Amino acid sequence: MNIILSQFIVTKSLLFVLVSCAIAFVLAPFVIRFLNRFNITRRTEFDSSMGIVHRQAKAGTPIMGGMVVVVTVIVLTVAFNWEQRFTYVPIGVLGISSLLGGMDDLLNLFGKKRRIRSLSHTLRLSRVHRDWWVRIFMVLTLPWTAFKRFFYVLGSDPGKGIQPHEKIIFQFLAGAITAWWIYFKLGTQWQSIWIPFYGDVHIGFWIIPLVIFIVMFTANAVNVADGLDGLSGGSLVIAFSSMLLLAWMQGNEYFAFLNASAVGALLAYTYFNIKPARFQMGDVGSLGLGALLAVLAIAQNRILILPFIGFIFFGELVSVIAQAVSRRVFGRKLLKMSPIHHHFEMLGWSEEKIVMRFWVVNVIAVFVGVWIAMH
């Protein structure tokens, strides 16, 4: 990698960090007041982790605090860093994913509980329902019911929010937009992925499914990691800072400024999110920022560095998958509770200890990742 360190980009990026941080700091108290006023707060009945005794103190904490970061990043980028080729789509994906997360947060609080009909029930109805039209409808929509049921089984707690199958569709959409942008709009040089110690490898059309997968995976990974005060905020600061460093080294000012905006806003967010949290990120922030992190890693052609940069997020999601697989296939739990941060809580670690150790691990992984990225 040819390192291009421009003083202009570095200086202006630092300015973006400071301005973004200042805006988020000003915005945060208003958002907290707004969330409290409309009772957009964490409730015990919708959260299985609230069964852990010391977590019950989190009831009543405003959620959707991630709005502060999302709004700050979007406003700053649109106002000072709007370039069709580089920042258009990342902001679009951030917006779509945040919208999805926001809807999920609100429906979890104010929506009605929905039930997914089982396949056997649907098949029975298609045979015995007295109305012929309903029977035909049941048969025609059977694949859709099967799709819904599949993700219902995979999902942990469908509850009242957006159902897992709906989430998957929205996230697929966000991934597809990114893939479309990469494949059709950015030119053929973007259809290759960088392999450490080797260089770029042209993969052509295969970039599309890869991008969709990465966006969906990373968004969900950040979402899963958003379970302890300061964990996702601090880890995202580390992740976006390393992406900022890579953007500096690549000499891409647009990505550098976008990363810098995210870092600044996240610093302010984390200030308010440190235990005891004044607000929590919610899906609005975690899904949006997760998708943004993935899009930037793809756009900066460092997909394979993402597992290092987002080490904590990926580790958390892998722990959830491993727990589900172990449970279903081997009939036993790997962890006392998934994601893995709850496992450590159950082992008696304090929240602060888990969060800080996870930060340290993430920083170490980032150093490894940046070193690999330079080769």
Partner 1 sequence: MQVLPTKTQKIIDAYLQLDFGDGRRIPCPYFINRPPRRRGSLAVLVGKGRPDEIIEEVFAIARRKRMDVCAMDADDIRRYMLEWGIGIDCSGFVSRVLAEMVCETHAESLFRSLKPPSGLFRRIAFRLNPAKNISVADLASDQNSIVVANVFDARVGDMIVTKSGKHILVVSRVNYGEKGYGMLTYVQSKEQGYVSEGHIILSAPERHLADQNWQKPEDCVPEIEHRRLRVLS
CB of 271 to partner 1, least distance (A): 31
The residues that touch partner 1, with contacts defined as CB under 8 A, are 44, 48, 50-52, 153, 327-333, 336-337
How far, in Å, CA of 180 to CA of 199, rounded?
23
CB of 115 to partner 1, least distance (A): 18
**Which C-beta is closer to partner 1: that of 66 or that of 227?**
227
CB of 337 to partner 1, least distance (A): 8
**Which C-beta is closer to partner 1: that of 3 or that of 329?**
329
CB of 322 to partner 1, least distance (A): 14
How far, in Å, CA of 208 to CA of 57, rounded?
44
CB of 323 to partner 1, least distance (A): 11
Give ∠ CA 315-318-322 in degrees, rounded to 5: 135
**Which C-beta is closer to partner 1: that of 101 or that of 158?**
158
CB of 345 to partner 1, least distance (A): 11
Pairing relationship of beta strands 192-195 and 199-202 according to DSSP bridges: antiparallel
How far, in Å, CA of 40 to CA of 58, rounded?
13
Backbone angles phi, psi at 192, to 5 degrees: -125, 155
CB of 332 to partner 1, least distance (A): 6
CB of 24 to partner 1, least distance (A): 35
CB of 153 to partner 1, least distance (A): 7
**Which C-beta is closer to partner 1: that of 70 or that of 337?**
337
Backbone angles phi, psi at 194, to 5 degrees: -85, 130
119, two tokens: 């396949």
**Which C-beta is closer to partner 1: that of 33 or that of 336?**
336
**Which C-beta is closer to partner 1: that of 14 or that of 50?**
50
Sign of the torsion formed by the C-alpha atoms of 373, 19, 94 and 360: positive
**Which C-beta is closer to partner 1: that of 220 or that of 338?**
338
122, two tokens: 């649907």
CB of 118 to partner 1, least distance (A): 10
